[in-house]
Copies of this chain bind each other. A is one copy, B any other.
Amino acid sequence: MTMRYSLVNGEVLNQITINDRGLLYGDGLFETLLLDNQKLCLWPYHYQRLAEGCRRLGLAIPSESLLLDEIKKVINQAETTRSVIKLLLTRGPGGRGYRASHAGSSATRIIQLFDAEEYDYELTEQGIGARICDTALGKNRKLAGIKHLNRLEQVLARSEWQQKDIREGVMLDSDAYVIEGTMTNIFLVMDNFIVTPELKECGVHGIIRRLLIEKQKLLPFPVQIRPVQKQELYAAHEIFFTNSLIGVWPVQQLENHRYDTVEIGRELGRKVKIWQNDG
């Protein structure tokens, strides 16, 4: 995916100081936003998650109007029908040592515009191949849910496979419970519920996950949030992954297990595409 344009604290720049705590410690947050025909999808959800992340890390929350002003500048540079905006907040420059010497001061804002990589929209229709990752997620209640910059677990998990027909990997926590995909949340279609893992100790509160929970009256079954065991992945009628860029990817095959149908995932994928443009 090509970067087309970037702002650092409102200025057209693509560099940052080597003393930035985002680099030194992963001391910051990010959001990945879909820009669909100049429409910024589900911005309020992204901003709310970012603000929650700031509260948890003790970062000053940038005002919504400041961020939207900067994002508008970036949107003006978009040349493709679908683009991706990546927003990073870091605690800014901070010398050496874990202690932040400037608690509450304003965060460094980095906003980047990418041409959307060619997502194969057929994947929502047909379903994907998936695997179960060996790299597990460590548990930490203080970091669970927020989209922070400590992403080595995801990097290691994603490095486990090279096959192009495997599009996503399921990640378990250190006690072998199912948590999420490397870049997605996961849902299991069971008998009377659509189940998604609790994210109390690890994982990211995804935007499409939240959308589906809030719209659950419009789904075939209500959403149940609870611990999920690995073997339930194979007992489910269907499973599917979600994120802001892909919407929904139903799973055709997980390891050696083929699912009989991708029907509900496909249907929800179509709905999510519409809902994203409403919200």
Max count, chain B CB within 10 A of own CB: residue among A96, A136, A141: A96
Does any Cβ of B come within 8 Å of A222's Cβ?
Answer: no
User: A40-48, A60-68, A145-153: which one contacts chain B?
Assistant: A145-153
Say yes or no: A155 contacts B25, CB within 8 Å.
yes
- One of B17, B99, B140 near A158 (C-beta < 8 A): B99
Closest Cβ of chain B to A92, distance in Å, is 12
Residues in B with CB closer than 8 Å to A156 are: 57, 142-143
Q: What is the bound-complex CA distance between A204 and B46, given in angstroms?
A: 34
Given contacts A26-B151, A138-B140, A150-B151, 20 further A-B contacts (CB under 8 A): A15-B16, A15-B18, A18-B112, A23-B149, A24-B151, A25-B150, A25-B151, A25-B154, A25-B155, A95-B114, A96-B117, A97-B183, A99-B159, A136-B140, A136-B141, A138-B143, A138-B202, A139-B174, A142-B153, A143-B153
Q: What is the bound-complex CA distance between A150 and B20, given in angstroms?
A: 14
Does any Cβ of B come within 8 Å of A27's Cβ?
Answer: yes
User: A1-9, A190-198, A264-272: which one contacts chain B?
Assistant: A1-9
Residues in B with CB closer than 8 Å to A227 are: none
Does any Cβ of B come within 8 Å of A189's Cβ?
Answer: no
Whether A148 touches B138, Cβ cut-off 8 Å, given contacts A6-B18, A96-B114, A183-B97, is no
A-B contact pairs, 28 of them (CB 8 A): A1-B95, A1-B97, A3-B19, A13-B18, A16-B18, A18-B112, A23-B90, A23-B149, A24-B30, A24-B149, A26-B149, A26-B150, A26-B152, A27-B151, A84-B96, A91-B155, A95-B114, A96-B117, A97-B183, A98-B151, A98-B183, A136-B140, A136-B142, A138-B143, A140-B153, A142-B153, A143-B156, A150-B152
Residues in B with CB closer than 8 Å to A150 are: 25-26, 150-152
Does any Cβ of B come within 8 Å of A135's Cβ?
Answer: yes
Closest Cβ neighbor of A201 among chain B residues: B174
Does any Cβ of B come within 8 Å of A58's Cβ?
Answer: yes
Residues in B with CB closer than 8 Å to A114 are: 95-96
Does any Cβ of B come within 8 Å of A14's Cβ?
Answer: yes
Within 8 A of B (CB), among A82-129: 84, 86, 88, 90-91, 95-100, 103, 110, 112, 114, 117
Max count, chain B CB within 10 A of own CB: residue among A3, A8, A90, A149: A149
